[in-house]
Structure 1
Amino acid sequence: MIHYHAIVKGRVQGVGFRYFVQGEAVNRGMKGWVRNTDEGHVELKVEGEQQKVIDFLETVRKGSPFSKVTDMQMEPLTELAHYQDFRIRS
C-alpha cells in the first residue's frame, strides 16, 4: 500500500473534475479524498496498491474530457491514513 498527495492545476474547477477523480478512484478500489482549493486547483490524497495508485494518478494527470490539466505536483507520503472510502470534500 502507498499513500500520495497531489495538487492538480489547470482548468479543473467547474468542469466536473472532482467527480471524474472520485469515479476513477472508486472504480479502481482507491481510498482517500479530493477537493477544490481556494487557489483554483484540485487537491487529493489517495491510498491503494502501488501499481493501481500509479495508474490512477496517470489517469488524473491526463484529465477528464472537459478539463485541461497543465501541471500536477505529486508527493509520496510515508504514513498510511487508512481511509474508509474515496470522498469529495468541500
Structure 2
Amino acid sequence: MIRYYFRFTGRVQGVGFRWTATRAADMLGLTGWVYNSWDGSVEMEVQGDEESIAEMIQTIDRGRFIQIDNIEKKTIPVVEDERYFDVK
C-alpha cells in the first residue's frame, strides 16, 4: 500500500473533477480525499495499490470537461485505518 499527494492544475474546477475522482476511488477501492484549492488547482491524497491509483488518474484525465495541464505528485505516509474517499 502506498499514499500519494497530488496537485492538479489546468481546467480542473467546475468540471466534475471531484465527482469523477470520488467515483473512481470508490470503484477501485481507494481511500483519501480531494479538495478544490483557493488558487484554482485541485489537491488530492489517495491511498491504495500503485496500479489502482494509476487507473484512477487515467479515469480522471479522461473526464469529458477536465483538462489537466500539470500534476505534482509526492509520496507521503500511509494513513492507517482510513476507510473512505471524501470530498473536502
What is the TM-score with the length of structure 1 in the denominator? 0.88
Is 1:73 paired with 2:75? no
- Offset at 1:32? 0.3
One-letter code of the match for 2:79? A
Q: What are structure 2's unaligned runs of at least 5 residues?
A: none
* Regions of 4+ moved over 3 Å: none
Q: Is the 8 A contact 1:2 1:53 kept in 2?
A: no
- Offset at 1:54? 2.6
**SS of equivalent to 2:10:** strand
- Offset at 1:50? 2.3
State the partner residue of 1:27.
27
Q: What are structure 1's unaligned runs of at least 5 residues?
A: none
Say what the alpha-carbon RMSD is for the aligned residues. 1.2
What is the TM-score with the length of structure 2 in the denominator? 0.90
Number of corresponding residues: 87
State the partner residue of 2:44.
44
> How far apart, CA to CA, are the structure 2 residues paired with 1:14 and 1:50?
28
**SS of equivalent to 1:65:** coil
- Offset at 1:53? 1.8
- Offset at 1:63? 4.3
